[in-house]
Structure 1
Amino acid sequence: MSLADQVLAVNDDLPIRTQQAVHSGKVRSVYWLTAEDSQRLIQEKGYQVASDAPLAIMVISDRISAFDCIWHGESGMKGVPGKGAALNAISNHWFKLFKEQGLADSHILDIPHPFVWIVQKATPIKIEAIARQYITGSMWRSYAKGEREFCGLRLPDGLQKDQKLPQLLITPSTKGILTGIAGVPEADDVNISRQDIQANFSAFNFKTADDINAYERLLAEGFAVIEQELAKLGQIFVDTKFEFGYVTDANGQEQLIYMDEVGTPDSSRIWDEAAYQAGQIVENSKEEFRQMLLNHFPEPDILLNKERMAEREALAKHNALPVSALMAVSDTYIKLAEKITGQKIVLSANPKADIITILREQYDLIV
C-alpha cells in the first residue's frame, strides 16, 4: 500500500447517521448525531452530560493547511501521513492533564479511534485565545516595522527577534466574522483588545463579563501546564491558540470548557531548547512547514498579504509540493506526539474503513 493510501484526506463522506449537513473545517469534519442516537449513547456509555445533550462525531483528517489554504503533494499525496493521529493524541494528552489538575473539562466524551472524538455540543466563545511567551512570527514582523501596541498591550522598545517576553501576553483575535462591534473590523482573525471584549462581551458569546477573567485564567493555566511538561522534554512552548465554549453538565450547570485542540504543533509554536540556547531556532511545529512554503515560492508576499488571497489559493491548488516536504512534517509531528504521550503512533493502512467498522460495531452509528 502506498503512502498516499494511508492518508485520510477526505473525512466528510463517512456513512454516519445524521440529520444535518456535515460541517467540514480545514482539518476536522463534524457529524451531528440524531437526538435519538445522542440520547442512546449518553445512556449506554454513561457520558456525564445532560440527558438531552446534542452529540457529534468529530473526525480529523491528515490534510495540512497553512496561510489559510490546503496544500497537497506530488505522487497523489493529499495530506501528511500520521498527522491526524498525532494531533489527536497530543490534544487528548493535554486535555486529560488539564482535567486531572483541576483546570477545566473539554468537549471530548469518548475516543473510539485515533482519528475520532465523540463530543458534546458547546456554544463557542468567538475568540481565538492566543498566548505568547516569545516575540516571533507576525508579532515580530509588526514590531520590526515600529508597532508597539498589540491587542491593547504596550511592548517596550529594544526587544530582539525570538526573545522571551517579560511576561506571558494574551493577544486575542476574532473567530469568524463579527458584525456590529464598534472598533472591530468585520473580518476573520483580526486582533482585538481586552477592552473590546469587555465592552461587547455578549457579542463574543460570553455569558457574563466575569467569564472574561475565567477564560484568561484557563488560557494562562493551560499554557503553564504544557510549558512545564514540554520543558521536561527539552522543548520550549513559544505561543499557542486555545478555544473555549460553554456546555451544560449532567447536573444542569453551565461550564466554560476547553474545545477544539490544545498544545498541538498545528496550533502552537514549539522550539528545541538546546538549539535555542545555542542561538538557533529549530521548529517542532507547523511553523517549519510555513517557513518551507515561504522559501519554496519566489514571491512570499503572496502568502503573507491577505489582499492577495486569490493568488494564494491558486498557488495551493496548482502546485504539488515535494513528497519530502510533507514527510518532514510527518516525521516532526509523529516524533513530537510519541515524545509527549510516551506511546507509539500506529498508522492504519485504511483509516476510513477502520473508523466505519468501529462506529458500526461498537456504537451503531453507520447507515
Structure 2
Amino acid sequence: MNNTIIKTDFNFPGQVSVYKGKVRDVYFLNDDRLVMIATDRLSAFDVVMPKGIPYKGQILNQIATKMMEKTSDIVPNWLEATPDPNVAIGRKCEPFKVEMVIRGYLSGHAAREYKAGKRELCGVKMPEGMKENDKFPEPVITPATKAEHGDHDEDISRENIIKRGIVSEEDYNKLEDYTRKLFQRGTEIAAKQDLILVDTKYEFGKTPEGEIVLIDEIHTPDSSRYFYADGYEERQQKGEPQKQLSKEFVRQWLISKGFQGKEGQQVPEMSDEYIETISERYIELYENITGDKFKKADVSNILARIEKNVVAYLKA
C-alpha cells in the first residue's frame, strides 16, 4: 500500500510550471511539450480519496496509450511518447473547457437523474419507460463544463456552450462529430472483448497551429463504464444489476456509506483489504479491455523510476 503515487514534486529539465489535477500531475516544459504523470489517486464525486490504489496510474496510462493508438486515424492526439509506465509526454494544447460525455445506456449519473423524475439531460430528451441500464435508441451527448480547482463538473447543453461562447459553433460541431466516431470505435473495440462500452467522456484541445486534437485519457475505467456483454439481456429482463467494470462500484460503495461528495459529508475509511479489491478490479478491466496480461511495473521506488525514465527521454 505504501508503494503508490499520491503526490509528485519533480523538477524536470526545461520545466516551467506544474498543474495538479484530481488524478494526473502535469509538468509543462519550455518547448511546448508536457509531461503527464498518472498518479494512483482515486477520485469519486469529484473528491480525491485519501489513499492511493496500487497500479492504478500505470493501468490508466497504458490503456489510454493503447486506445490513442487505435483511434489516431479518427482524430489526431497529443501523445508523443510513454517513457515510463505512469508517464505520457506530448504536445501542449489549449484545452476546451467542456468534457464531451457520451452515453449509450441509461446508467450512472443519467440513471440517477432519470430516477429523480428528470426526462431531459443537457438539453437532450430521454424516452419515457426506460429502466436503469437500458440502451438508448441512439447514443446521447451530455457535455459537462470542466471544473476549476476541484469544484463539481456541471451538466450543460449544446445551446448553452455555444451561447456562452465556451466553444464556437464550428468547433463544437467538430467535437460532436469526433465524439460519436470515437464512441463507435470504442464500442467496436469493447465488443471484440465481449464487453459493452456503456458511456465515456472525451477531452479535446487545440494546438498552437489551431488543430483540434484528443487529449487526456480515453476508454479507461476512470473515464468510461463497461458492462460484460455475456448475460446483459438476461440481467435486464430480470431487473438485476449489470456486471460492470468501471469506477461505479466505488461510487456505489461510497453511497452505501452515506457519502456523495456533498458539503459536510466525511469520506468513509477504506481498509487496505478494500483498496486491494479496487486494485484487482482495475487490473481486471485492463486485461479485459486490452486482451493483454497486465505486467506490474517495479514499484519499489516509483518516483525515482519515473524521474530516471523521463530525464533520460528528454535528454535523448
Q: Structure 1-normalised TM-score? A: 0.79
- Residue pair 2:105, 2:134 contacting (<8 A) in 1 also: yes
Consecutive unaligned residues of structure 1, counting only runs of 5 or more, are: 39-53, 73-77, 178-186
- Structure 1 residue 5 and structure 2 residue 9: aligned? no
Quick one: distance in 2 between partners of 1:175 and 1:15? 27
**How many Å separate the matches in 1 of 2:15 and 2:204?**
26
The DSSP-based 3-state class of the residue aligned with 1:333 is helix
Superposition deviation, residue 343 in structure 1: 4.4
Looking at structure 1, the residues matched to 315 and 126 of structure 2 have their Cα atoms a distance apart, in angstroms, of 55
Deviations 1:163-187 (A, max 9, x none): 111110001111136xxxxxxxxx7
Q: Give ranges in structure 2 of 5+ residues lacking alignment.
A: 236-240
Deviation at 1:255, TM superposition (A): 1.2
2:198 paired residue number? 238
TM-score (norm 2): 0.91
Kindly indicate whether residue 310 of structure 2 is the aligned counterpart of residue 359 of structure 1. Answer: yes
| Cα distance in 2, alignment partners of residues 69 and 103 from structure 1 | 33
Superposed, which structure 2 residues align to 1:94-133 within 5 Å? 94-99=67-72, 102-133=73-104
Distance, in Å, in 1 between the alignment partners of 2:307 and 2:96 is 32
Match of 2:245 in 1: 284
Is the 1:80–1:330 contact (alpha carbons within 8 Å) kept by the matching residues of 2? yes
Matches of 2:285 and 2:113 in 1, distance apart? 30
Worse-matched range after superposition: 214-223 or 137-146: 137-146
CA deviation profile, 1:274-315 (whole Å, cap 9, x unmatched): 2423314112111111111222x1xx2x416xxx32x23xx2
**What is aligned with 2:288?**
339
Cα deviation, residue 352, structure 1: 1.1
Structural mapping, 1:41-52, within 5 Å: none
Mapping 1:165-314, distance limit 5 Å = 165-176=136-147, 188-200=152-164, 203-204=165-166, 206=167, 208-248=168-208, 253-279=209-235, 280-295=241-256, 297=257, 300=258, 302-303=259-260, 308-309=262-263, 311-312=264-265
Distance 1:355 1:58 in 2: 11
Q: Tell me the distance in 2 between the aligned counterparts of 1:360 and 1:21.
A: 16
Post-superposition shift, 1:359?
A: 2.4
Post-superposition offset of 1:151: 1.2
The DSSP-based 3-state class of the residue aligned with 1:118 is strand
Off by >6 Å, runs of 4+ in structure 1: none
What's the RMSD between the two structures over aligned residues?
1.9
**1:347 partner amino acid:** A
Contact preservation (8 Å) 2:34, 2:89: yes
Q: Contact 1:104 / 1:218 at 8 angstroms: preserved in 2?
A: yes
Contact 2:33 / 2:92 at 8 angstroms: preserved in 1? yes
AA of the residue aligned to 2:61: N
Secondary structure of 2:127 counterpart: coil
- Is the 8 Å Cα contact of residues 243 and 259 (structure 1) preserved in structure 2? yes
- Percent identical across equivalent pairs? 31
2:238 matched to which residue of 1?
none
Shift of 1:226: 0.8
Match of residue 327, structure 1, among 276, 280, 284: 276
